[in-house]
């Protein structure tokens, strides 16, 4: 994760933050309160994809009665 660090002198520096052993981390909203797969604020379709490893979920197929 990159962030800009601002100094009192007005100078800015781009820094890269790395967190080790971070438990609950939602990379969708960058919150530490839940996992991305459990994010209630993310659209449902994206939640399903994060649970299935990025694969779209399959809708049930029903054969037409003849």
Q: For residue range 23-57, list pLDDT tens digits in order.
A: 787 877 778 888 888 887 777 665 555 555 555 55
pLDDT at 46: 55
Q: How far is CA 61 from the centre of its chain?
A: 30
Mean pLDDT of 16-25: 80
pLDDT at 11: 97
Residue 9 clears pLDDT 70, i.e. is over it: yes
The tokens describing 53, both together, are: 């490893």
Do 24 and 32 form a contact (C-beta atoms < 8 A)? Answer: yes
Residue 4 clears pLDDT 80, i.e. is over it: yes
**Beta-bridge partners for 14:** 4
| Residue 21, φ and ψ in degrees, nearest 5 | 55, 45
């Amino acid at each position: 994760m990159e962030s800009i660090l601002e100094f009192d002198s007005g100078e800015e520096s781009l820094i890269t933050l790395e967190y080790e052993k971070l438990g609950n981390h939602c990379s969708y909203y960058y919150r530490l309160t839940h996992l991305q797969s459990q994010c209630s604020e993310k659209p449902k379709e994206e939640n399903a994809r994060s649970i299935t490893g990025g694969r779209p979920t399959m809708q049930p197929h029903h054969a037409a009665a003849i």
